[in-house]
Chain A
Amino acid sequence: MPGRLSRRSIARYIANGLIEGTHSKKILLKQLAGYLVETRRTKELELIVRDIEFALVEKGMVQASVISAFDLTAETKKALVAFVKTKMSAAQVNVSHIIHPNVIGGVKITVPGRELDQTIARRLTVLKTRFKKA
């Protein structure tokens, strides 16, 4: 029976495999699925996916999402990609745009482990807390 590996170690193995191409994506995922079933850790699947995202960031591949209340112009989208690329020192950035009216206004950029929240909804939350404390 293999020893329990940390999620971080598993994620690094998969990320390395994906980037270096030592094995095909299909084989890597099959290996991971087999390991998780054998060690009864299938419940950790979502967290491992998150950790793979973290590991990919370390390798310069960033999966970002941008949330806004309204659709953004092509120019803004381009500027946001450039912003993420600079801030994360990333070689490759994939951005998914999500429209969510609950944020009221502004924009929220999420990358693995980091976030820039310039939405009205967050400002209101912070304001609410400050007045609750005062």
Chain B
Amino acid sequence: MSELSIAALSKELRDAIENLETDKQLDEVGVIIRVGDGVAWIHGLRSAGYSEVLNIETPKGIVEAFALNLLEDEIGAVLLGDDSEVKAGQTVRLKGTVLEVPVGTELLGRVVDPLGRALDGGPAITAKQTGLVEREAIGVMGRKSVFEPLMTGIMSIDAMFPIGRGQRELIIGDRQTGKTAIAIDTMINQAKQNTGVVNVYVAIGQKFSKVARLVERLKTEGVMDQTIIVATSPSDPASLLYLAPYAATAMGEFFRDNSQHALMIYDDLTKHAVAYRQMSLLLRRPPGREAYPGDVFYLHSRLLERSAKLSDDLGGGSLTALPIIETQAGDISAYIPTNVISITDGQIFLETDLFYQGIRPAISAGLSVSRVGGAAQTAAVKSVSSHLKLGLSQFRELASFAQFGSDLDEATKKQIDRGQRLTELLKQHQYQPAAIWEQVVSIAAVSGGYFDSVPSAQIKAAQSALLAKLGTDHKKEMAELDKGGKPDEVMNKLIETTATSVAKGFAG
């Protein structure tokens, strides 16, 4: 061991001993009367507050817990650490604080647990500030309407269901339908488009192997430097799974409150509700629908209400939330999905059928909606996508009718053809978010009818050719279009001419 580390150790030891000195007061203490399944019941501590941190003294050190059930005769507390050392009869003290986690720029690029402890093998987090895990949401006067776009880079979302900074947009669908993929692409797009938005990804009960793969991918894409990952695995205590989204939101709020923009991804809130149900049942709270406790709505509403666009007086920062919910057999009328749908400002519904038809992202045009994003949509994208959602919904309806017969009038046939081309166009590979100009040009080419002569199967190739041509020959114009302003006549003419000439090469 080097001399330097010995000196540092010695100083730390001296500081620790100094800090041990306390004024001679009789501290309030309680005693554990029973413990099991990560829950301890405590006698005493009559002045304990809700969510207050408790220190349980075990022979191997202090184990933290937080008070969740304050009853007349006892307190139910959820353990935050290993419960194997916690036994009946042990002394419990009030820590005097509610839960706090480290916050700040020091967390960028790191993978931490919900208590802010490093999980990536790096040095311990030494943040200058801490944030409250449970914090009241900003009030009405502290907010502003959502007006700035948060581009996902996914054409179908940015064109049909635009998301604004400060919005809560639910991503919902069955397992293996590409929910996390949408969230990851959105994170990647923030780095590719240099938006400066900080990503906070919360893995709730996700396998650590999956989190490791995600970290690798984010590093490869150069996104990790502006990302914080809060990870919990299925083997973690339910208390940590429960705390993860709140702790991560505290980390995101630091950026929001410092006039920056942050994006929260909660992957996923179904597992969060399940962890809370487990805790509630162990705390003997009465079960309600699907055995969830009565306050499961409040569990998610108080979390998502913390995402907001702040007023100019408060710095104008924003916290956007993309919660994820997993449905069973596409049932969005189950308890947790309906709760979160009603809390959020819209949802992106992913359909298994579309996914297996090869339409990826498998976004359902009919069931998805963005309630506030319209005001935040980029003018450039808005100018070409006004009728996109309606057209696509009508196409899917007509297409199912068309299966029964071939006697269709010209107008219907045309609509179906256009719909097929649009469907092909909106297919997008993972990790390839599109820039604003790429989205505008691609959508204009199909919705403007310039690609009408291109067979559906050739649409993606034609799109690539068009983008390559415009990207090389008209770099300056495309850079201008990428700023998001509404394209003028000259720009529209340029897109039309180029798209028509490209289409000739693919005409069927």
Q: Name A residues whose Cβ lies closer than 8 Å to a Cβ of B.
A: 6-8, 47, 50-51, 54, 83-84, 87-88, 109-111, 113-118, 122-123, 125-132, 134
Closest B residue to A128 using CB positions: B61
Q: Which of B45, B59, B61 has the most CB of A within 10 A?
A: B61
Cα distance A114–B93 in the bound complex, in angstroms: 9
Given A8-B73, A47-B73, CB of A132 within 8 Å of CB of B26: no
Instruction: Note all chain A residues with C-beta closer than 8 A to B461.
Output: none
Cα distance A126–B27 in the bound complex, in angstroms: 15
Instruction: Note all chain B residues with C-beta closer than 8 A to A116.
Output: 24-27
Interface string of B72-93 (1 = CB under 8 A from A): 1100000000000000000101
Interface string of B362-395 (1 = CB under 8 A from A): 0000000000000000000000000000000000
A114 & B29 in contact (Cβ 8 Å cutoff): yes
Q: In the complex, how many angstroms separate the beta carbon of A8 from the nearest chain B beta carbon?
A: 6
Instruction: Note all chain A residues with C-beta closer than 8 A to B132.
Output: none
Cβ of B331 < 8 Å from any Cβ of A?
Answer: no
Closest A residue to B30 using CB positions: A113
The tally of CB-CB contacts under 8 A between chains A and B is: 66
A125 & B16 in contact (Cβ 8 Å cutoff): no
Instruction: Note all chain B residues with C-beta closer than 8 A to A123.
Output: 20
Beyond A6-B73, A84-B26, A118-B24, 14 additional contacts (C-beta under 8 Å) are A7-B73, A8-B72, A47-B43, A50-B44, A109-B26, A113-B29, A113-B46, A114-B28, A114-B29, A115-B27, A115-B29, A116-B24, A117-B27, A125-B62
Cα distance A102–B16 in the bound complex, in angstroms: 22
A131 & B60 in contact (Cβ 8 Å cutoff): no
Instruction: Note all chain B residues with C-beta closer than 8 A to A113.
Output: 28-30, 44-46
Q: In the complex, how many angstroms separate the beta carbon of B483 from the nearest chain A beta carbon?
A: 49
Q: In the complex, how many angstroms separate the beta carbon of A89 from the nearest chain B beta carbon?
A: 11
Cα distance A114–B29 in the bound complex, in angstroms: 5
Cα distance A56–B238 in the bound complex, in angstroms: 39
Interface string of B50-82 (1 = CB under 8 A from A): 000000010111100000000011000000000
Given A7-B73, A47-B43, CB of A132 within 8 Å of CB of B61: yes
A128 & B60 in contact (Cβ 8 Å cutoff): yes
Cβ of B479 < 8 Å from any Cβ of A?
Answer: no
Instruction: Note all chain A residues with C-beta closer than 8 A to B20.
Output: 123, 126-127
B26 & A114 in contact (Cβ 8 Å cutoff): yes
Instruction: Note all chain A residues with C-beta closer than 8 A to B60.
Output: 128
